Amino acid sequence: MSASAASSRVWVVGVGMTTFGVHCELTNHELARWAIRDALSDAGADPGVVDVVFYGTATHGFLERQVMVSGQIALRSAGFEAIPVHNVENACATGASALSLAVAQVRSGDAAVALAVGAEKMHVGDPERTMALFDTAYDVSDPGALLRTLKELGGEVDETELGRRSIFMDIYAALARNHMRQYGTTQAQLAAVASKNHAHAADNARAHYRGSLTVPVVLAARQLAYPLTVPMCAPVTDGAAAVVVCNEEGLRRLGSERAVEVLAAVVGTGPDVTRQVAARAYDRAGVGPEDVDVAEVHDATAFGEVLQTELLGLVPAGEGGPAAWRGETTLGGRIPVNPSGGLESKGHPLAATGLGQVFELTEQLRGACGSRQVLGARIALAENGGGFHLGEEAVASVIILGRR
């Protein structure tokens, strides 16, 4: 490795994450400060060592009307002064995008130590307002286009009687029905994904839901939008996560005993967004999908995991469902996916989700996950996406971490 390449290396040196769940008593900013304290403690650092902060929140403006300067307000009282604080929004990929920006900043040498934060308070006492939030994550100037796309993907399905749900459950359901027609994916295979992730979360003390569910129980649960039942879908969640990254100069300040290297952090848009972002990330990291030991993917629904494992090349096209059914993506299987429990069980506080994935994978590479540990894990991948545009996610992120 050349001197210039070595000098541009980036490490995760600290991770922090709140419990994910319902935190009626805490604000967005209090959740953020909780995660930040834990990340700094994990790094053996204090706020004074941080050169720049990227603060992510997708819902704070809509739900709590703090439309601007959320990061500055959250961080000033936490001891962060006289440094740049940048506010980031990129739908469900907000936290991952904040981390990508932090990585770029330290890789360039403009900062030695950077902090990425993602925080959401989604339970604000007004469930209708929370559901309405999701109607802002597609092209609101042409809502008819969304409905036409869903009909083209998933056919005409009248499910208005099923009750309140995010429009994204209808989006995932339409994508799932299209995949079922194309590849023969079954509802039982989707239930196997959900059952697997709920089982993983049972041993995750930070997860929103920690109860194991069998495949028959998942299938018999309340239908949300065919073929999805409630346990196949991510809950509305409060929470925050934070990650401290540094370059070689920062590593000298903080120590390297528990550092995990950021091999790639790529964010992109369509077309074919996940596949092309993954290709760039693999190329940048110098690895391929066959090298990945453990992955956290964006399973806002069980079908999301099926689709993303295929697009990432972890399984062949059409094999996401069968692979889950055979146990290949379960802890102890060929390629464990979502050992944290994923969004379905760990929870999905939008801006915190991508950083929560990095928290899990950093701990996996450190060998610190106890009963959920993927033995011998050296290469880990996080995929996180958000929004919906022109038939696919509006934005996708792929982060690859390594400990060699």
Which of 71, 95, 96 has its CA nearest to residue 81?
A: 71
C-alpha R_g of the chain: 20
| Distance, CA of 103 to chain centre | 17
Q: Is 54 exposed, middle or buried (0-12, 13-18, 19+ CB in 10 A)?
A: buried
- For residue 47, say if its preceding peptide bond is cis, omega within 30 degrees of 0: no
Going from the C-alpha of 85 to that of each of 56, 73, 267, the distances in angstroms are: 10, 10, 20
Query: Which position among 92, 233, 246, 369 bears the catalytic label?
Result: 92
> Which spans in 137-267 are helix H?
143-154, 167-183, 187-201, 215-220, 248-254
> Are the C-beta atoms of 36 and 223 separated by less than 8 Å?
no
> Are the C-beta atoms of 394 and 387 separated by less than 8 Å?
yes
> Are the C-beta atoms of 262 and 381 separated by less than 8 Å?
no
> Are the C-beta atoms of 17 and 239 separated by less than 8 Å?
yes
> Are the C-beta atoms of 57 and 120 separated by less than 8 Å?
yes
Query: Is 298 considered catalytic here?
Result: no
Query: Is 24 considered catalytic here?
Result: no
Query: Which position among 60, 200, 348, 369 bears the catalytic label?
Result: 348
Q: Is 295 exposed, middle or buried (0-12, 13-18, 19+ CB in 10 A)?
A: buried
> Are the C-beta atoms of 244 and 43 separated by less than 8 Å?
yes
> Are the C-beta atoms of 118 and 91 separated by less than 8 Å?
no
Q: Is 343 exposed, middle or buried (0-12, 13-18, 19+ CB in 10 A)?
A: buried
Active-site residue list: 92, 348
